[in-house]
């Protein structure tokens, strides 16, 4: 994690795309020629104080940007807009489905964003501006950021699809309880992604159709392309969810077949040995009068009769088609 991943900072970009770092105070008003971007960390008390008192934003906007929990949204407010987006969590030792939010106030000449955890798409923008180049207006900034967020979702969706394909091949040879658990976890991951991508797609759709003064024709066209990518991700997640559900049903069916087969074998064994057990139990009672108790060959005769009875039972079950 770089220093920019955990601190507040600001950049200014001129009309030619030349960028450089500036103080937060320089973002107190929009730039007339170019763009100023302030990126505020939610645990930076000084930056939050500037956001509340020195940014010139309406308190309602400040409250929306500082909210602890957010969902993707686009809300037009006068000449500007509140835009909340989310991206997959690509930080070390993190689950990609634990998506990270970025909240933004966007108007002509200025973007103020608020974050808690770093996003690679934001880091890429900051690194580019640190190198001296950046988006020269708010429309290009938002399209570049949204494109980066959606683009980084594709490998995660593809990885889940490959994992589902491997599970599908394994089920052909081995459908066990562990596979049922794996499918349930995979389906949960798909649903977690879908839960945030769906409202993000709606936010991007509203954004692409809005007539905000900072949006130009090029930006609306780019948003439409980004929206198409987000829609494709949603369709892939829907397909994976349905496939995982079908595979879970298949695993359940195979496990039920295995259980029924085991119960069937147990029933057949019980049918064969229950009469034999009855006879041996009857002959084993400790009372007088058992026929053949004084004859030395009685045991062999009884064993032979039991074997003959077992063979007869087996033949009967075979004849009835129960075996």
DSSP 63-93: HHHH-SS---EEEEETTEEEEEEEE---STT
Lowest mean pLDDT among 130-134, 145-149, 167-171, 290-294: 290-294
Instruction: Say yes or no to pLDDT of 62 above 70.
Output: yes
Contact 31, 12 (CB under 8 A): yes
Please give the pLDDT value at position 253: 79
Q: Round to whole Å and give the CA distance between 109 and 22.
A: 15
Residue 1's pLDDT band (cuts 50, 70, 90): very low
Beta pairing, strands 35-41 & 110-115: parallel
**147 contacts 223 by C-beta, under 8 angstroms:** no
pLDDT mean across residues, the chain: 85
Distance of alpha carbon 104 from alpha carbon 57, whole angstroms = 12
CA distance 40 to 113: 6
Q: Is the pLDDT of residue 54 over 70?
A: yes
At residue 3, the pLDDT reads 43
User: What DSSP designation does 169 have?
Assistant: H
Q: What is the DSSP string of 274-314?
A: HHHHHHHHHHT-SSS--TTTT-TTHHHHHHHHHHHHHHHHH
pTM: 0.76
The mean pLDDT value for 260-268 works out to 78
CA separation, residue 30 to residues 16, 74, 80 (Å): 16, 20, 11
pLDDT(126) > 90: yes
Q: Tell me the pLDDT tens digit for each residue of 188-240.
A: 899 888 888 888 888 888 888 888 888 888 888 898 899 999 999 999 999 99
* Residues comprising the chain, all counted: 323
Q: Can you tell me whether residue 13 is helix, strand or coil? A: strand
């Amino acid at each position: 994690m770089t220093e920019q991943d955990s601190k507040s900072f600001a950049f200014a970009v001129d009309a030619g795309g030349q960028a450089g770092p500036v103080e937060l105070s320089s973002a107190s008003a929009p730039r007339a020629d170019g763009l100023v971007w302030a990126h505020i960390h939610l645990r930076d008390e000084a930056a939050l104080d500037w956001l509340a008192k020195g940014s010139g934003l309406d308190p309602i906007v400040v409250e929306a940007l500082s909210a602890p929990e957010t969902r993707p949204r686009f809300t037009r407010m006068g000449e500007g807009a509140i835009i909340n987006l989310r991206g997959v969590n690509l930080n070390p030792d993190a689950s990609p489905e634990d998506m990270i939010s970025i909240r933004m106030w966007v108007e002509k000449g200025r973007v103020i964003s608020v974050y808690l955890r770093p996003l690679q798409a934001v880091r890429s923008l900051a690194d580019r501006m640190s190198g001296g180049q950046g988006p020269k207006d708010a429309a290009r900034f938002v399209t570049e950021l949204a494109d980066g967020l959606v683009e980084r979702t594709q490998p995660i969706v593809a990885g889940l699809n490959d994992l589902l394909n491997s599970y599908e091949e394994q089920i052909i040879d081995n459908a066990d309880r562990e596979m049922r658990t794996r499918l349930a976890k995979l389906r949960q991951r798909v649903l977690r992604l879908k839960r945030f991508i769906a409202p993000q797609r709606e936010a991007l759709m509203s954004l692409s159709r809005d007539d905000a003064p900072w949006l130009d024709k090029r930006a609306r066209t780019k948003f439409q392309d980004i929206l198409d990518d987000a829609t494709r991700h949603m369709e892939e997640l829907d397909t994976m969810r349905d496939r995982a559900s079908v595979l879970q049903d298949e695993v359940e069916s195979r496990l039920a077949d295995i259980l029924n087969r085991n119960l069937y074998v147990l029933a057949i064994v019980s049918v064969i040995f229950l009469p034999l057990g009855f006879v041996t139990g009857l002959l084993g009672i400790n009372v007088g009068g058992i026929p053949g108790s004084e004859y030395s060959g009685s045991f062999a005769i009884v064993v032979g009769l039991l074997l003959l009875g077992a063979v007869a039972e087996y033949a009967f079950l075979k004849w009835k088609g129960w075996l």
